[in-house]
Amino acid sequence: MAATGNLPLAARELDGEGESFFAEVHSDQAIYLQDPAPTVVARRSSKGRAPRRLQTTAVPMTVAEWAALQSASAWGRLSIRDGEKGEVRADYLT
């Protein structure tokens, strides 16, 4: 099992390779429960620059909001390592 810290690219690579891993995620990070399918919006006028930025109509939620919706039985506790002030543990969902 690998630890990625807070590196989304590393997590995507490990997931693509079928590896098990855990990652720290900020509680205010936006997530989508389904593919947001971002697209470049159609040009509305012939004036000005053409749109280039991807946009989505999907509504994100924060990790904290999603975690609050999970049942208590879905959570687990993992001992990560011994630290200077004792054992370092993390609560997790899979």
Per-run averaged pLDDT (10 residues), the chain, 94 residues: 59 86 86 92 87 91 95 92 91 83
Which residue in 66, 70, 90 sits closest to 1, CA to CA? 90
Q: Supply the pTM of this predicted model.
A: 0.64
Question: Which pLDDT value is given to residue 6?
Answer: 55
**Which letter does DSSP use for residue 80 in this model?**
E
Amino acid present at 66: W
Distance CA 90, CA 76 (A): 8
CA distance 50 to 41: 9
Q: pLDDT at position 67, please?
A: 93
